[in-house]
Amino acid sequence: MIAAALAAPFSALADLTGSGLNATAGQALLATTPGQLPIIIGTIIKTALGLVGIIFLVLMVYAGFIWMIARGDEAKVEKAKDTIINCIIGVVIVASAYAITSYIINAVTAPMPAQSAAPTTPATGSTDQTPPALGAPQ
């Protein structure tokens, strides 16, 4: 019992390179190096947006087909119009969510600009930013 408690830290520090996790991640086309999380997230988002685009296309074709075979039946025409309107609203919501998420991620992950002292003017070397008066010698 005591030996197991003493050996537990060593098993937690065991090297998992022989476990096959890196090979599995490579087969799944996932990054195996640290710091690749943004790439993985970007791939997931790109795949999800591709699926949303496919669903949008299928629903639009379905609504157009329903409208074409309505033969003047007002209920079917209204169903097709509602489907088209709902598809467009859904795509606008998804595109807006993507734009907002992209903006926030770029704002959070962007490097901070270096803070510098007050800029100096090249001619005088002073930090005074007031322009000289008209007619005054420089």
71-126 pLDDT, tens digit each: 989 999 999 999 999 999 999 999 998 888 888 877 887 777 766 655 555 555 55
Angle between helices 74-109 and 37-68 (to 10 degrees): 170
Provide the residue ranges of all domains of the chain, joining segments of one domain with +.
Answer: 35-106
Q: Which pLDDT score is estimated for 11? A: 46
Q: For the range 23-29, what are the long-range contacts, defined as Cβ-Cβ under 8 Å and sequence gap of 24 or more? A: none
What's the mean per-residue pLDDT of the chain?
76
19-28, 48-57, 77-86, 94-103: range with highest mean pLDDT? 77-86
- The average pLDDT across 6-16 equals 47
Q: Which pLDDT score is estimated for 59? A: 95
Q: Rounded CA gap, 75 and 134, in Å?
A: 77
- C-alpha distance from residue 30 to each of 15, 24, 34, 50, 119 (Å): 20, 9, 11, 18, 46
Name the token pair of 80.
């097709």
Q: Residue 89: CB partners within 8 Å, gap ≥ 6?
A: none
